[in-house]
Copies of this chain bind each other. A is one copy, B any other.
């Protein structure tokens, strides 16, 4: 019955609680047994139960609401985001004041490369299957980008929205979550570095317009190139920020 056998160090209780969710076929949002019930069925103390639940909460496998109860979690990718963010921040060591380059800059580049490979491959698969409704939605997002760009305002949320809508027709629930995860890590770390927001939002809006134009024309190759250009722009910006501004 051990779905995954011996956890390397993870507590027995932790596995038992996971197994309990699987056995009872509990769905996200459904209530878990209370701590008291768990300590009786598992025959351990309240403290041990709590420690296990805390660990599972960190993995978003359960959700604990104070004064209310414990519920089955979404098992989302937020632990992945937190972990990757922390790792990126912890690696670099901030670098010296001048050349701010450190291991973190490299780590950020690695994340960007994975995102780039993913999106360049994904846009090929989605380029043919986009229907008029989805194209219209993307058009709407790009219009708002352009308006924001003319005003000189950055639009990180619109950027997020564009890429999410773009891949919706894939029917792959993992893809948007993964991309959102990378996006979150990148922007959180960039924010912690004090990077300025997109200095040239009009250019970024233009990149998205190019992608949309290629998609409308059903030109797979051009769409991929446009996506690549988009990332080239992000990389250039990241490098510029890293190599010391003024």
Contact = CB atoms under 8 A, between A and B. Distances in A.
Interface residues of A, number: 59
Given A47-B47, A178-B114, A60 B83 contact: yes
Nearest to A61: B86
B122 A117 contact: yes
Contact of A110 (B51, B58, B89, B172): B172
Contacts of A60: 83
A47 B50 CA distance: 10
A79 interface: yes
A113 interface: yes
A55 interface: yes
A61 B87 CA distance: 8
Main secondary structure of the interface of A (DSSP, over half): helix
Interface in A26-47: 26, 47
Interface of A: 3-4, 8-10, 14, 18, 21-22, 25-26, 47, 50-52, 54-61, 63-64, 75, 77-80, 82-87, 89-90, 93-94, 107, 110-111, 113-114, 117-118, 120-122, 125, 170, 172-175, 178, 188, 192
The 8 closest A-B pairs by CB, nearest first: A117-B121, A75-B87, A55-B58, A110-B174, A51-B54, A58-B58, A121-B121, A80-B80
24 contacts: A3-B188, A3-B192, A4-B82, A4-B85, A10-B58, A21-B90, A22-B89, A25-B93, A25-B94, A54-B54, A54-B55, A58-B59, A59-B59, A59-B82, A77-B83, A80-B80, A107-B174, A110-B172, A110-B175, A113-B172, A114-B174, A114-B178, A117-B118, A120-B121
